[in-house]
A and B are shown apart, each in its own frame.
Chain A
């Protein structure tokens, strides 16, 4: 799995860092945060489609992880463990938001985030204006299609397709069975195929 590590950081095993955190070492926790903050933020952003909310939820998730790191026993990877916290926090937030909205679908007022040109994952050259506009439109279509999925369906499709997680890792992160993950993937894919086919066929 991808992590944001420098060679020096990679020398320290994740489990060692966790042990240090359990002894109260905030610097060790800082290192774990550095490894996962971008992925955690991106995952949450893809679920909530709002930068500020994603930022706050990522913060909440890491604070929660710090508070409960004493209970981490190393039975799963730290990555799976933190994703479980992230998913609980995010899905809970989405559900509360849905209730507040009187059961209506999630906020469609999508805030499009400018992609950071300094990011390692984007091309160095700035896109041309028409390409930029086109990208925004595509992103808006994708976000809208994802917003039509339930929080659980969003989670599985993003963890599988973007994070490339295995079924069992997704199951652990969501606290459900592998069969449930596969079933949710089936329906999430079908829905997205129906709503985005014209987009991905023409890109």
Chain B
């Protein structure tokens, strides 16, 4: 669906025909005034063409010469850039990136596997080595949570214990 502006422009430039032309002209409230406006616009077009078309390029040969120089310079720069960065093609950049990443992953894995965990506390060792007497405490459960970071935290969670075994000496 064309807007009024589009139809008007097409009408002015003689681009409407047949049914479309008849419909557009019928839709105009004052065809005579529109025709006058059209003549005025065509006059403007002819006037602009007459006044603006004579603009000459003052030194055509120098224009081409200067352009030639610029293009030659451009080609020179491009070939120099190509010479200095020939090795780093896009596939090579991708492969180099992938190789560097793989090397990083391997190094990290090796270093992590060599890392020694911190020594277990004496208290924890005692807890792990202790036994709950099943006769005295049939439903007893002991959970131990331990964090092995620098700030060591060990949590002992007991459930169903009536009493701690005698060899449990809290430190």
Count the A residues whose beta carbon is within 8 Å of the partner chain — how many? 50
Query: Which residue of chain A has the shortest Cβ distance to B9 in the bound complex?
Result: A182
Instruction: From B43, B52, B54, give the contact of A119 (CB < 8 A).
Output: B54
Digit string of B64-90 for contact with A (CB within 8 Å is 1, else 0)? Answer: 101110111010000000000000000
Tell whether A196 is near chain B: CB-to-CB under 8 Å: yes
Tell whether B60 is near chain A: CB-to-CB under 8 Å: yes
Query: Which residue of chain A has the shortest Cβ distance to B60 in the bound complex?
Result: A37
Instruction: Establish whether residues B54 and A200, one from each chain, have CB atoms under 8 Å apart when the complex forms.
Output: no
Tell whether A113 is near chain B: CB-to-CB under 8 Å: yes
Instruction: Establish whether residues A187 and B54, one from each chain, have CB atoms under 8 Å apart when the complex forms.
Output: no
Task: Name B's interface SS.
Answer: helix
Q: Using Cβ atoms and an 8 Å threshold, which residues of chain B touch A185?
A: 9
Instruction: From A26, A121, A158, give the contact of B54 (CB < 8 A).
Output: A121
Tell whether B49 is near chain A: CB-to-CB under 8 Å: yes
Q: A63-B74, A116-B58, A162-B49 are in contact. Are A192 and B44 (CB under 8 A)?
A: yes
Q: Using Cβ atoms and an 8 Å threshold, which residues of chain B touch A45?
A: 55
Instruction: From A46, A59, A183, give the contact of B67 (CB < 8 A).
Output: A59
Tell whether B5 is near chain A: CB-to-CB under 8 Å: yes
Instruction: Establish whether residues B64 and A34, one from each chain, have CB atoms under 8 Å apart when the complex forms.
Output: yes
Instruction: Establish whether residues B41 and A179, one from each chain, have CB atoms under 8 Å apart when the complex forms.
Output: no
Q: Using Cβ atoms and an 8 Å threshold, which residues of chain A touch B71?
A: 26, 29, 63, 66
* A residues lining the B interface (CB < 8 Å): 26, 29-30, 33-34, 37-38, 41-42, 45-46, 51, 55, 58-59, 62-63, 66-67, 113, 115-116, 118-119, 121-122, 138-139, 142, 157-158, 160-162, 167, 179, 182-183, 185-187, 189, 192-193, 196-197, 199-201, 203
- Contacts A37-B63, A161-B48 aside, 5 further interface pairs with beta carbons under 8 A come to A116-B58, A182-B5, A186-B9, A189-B44, A192-B44
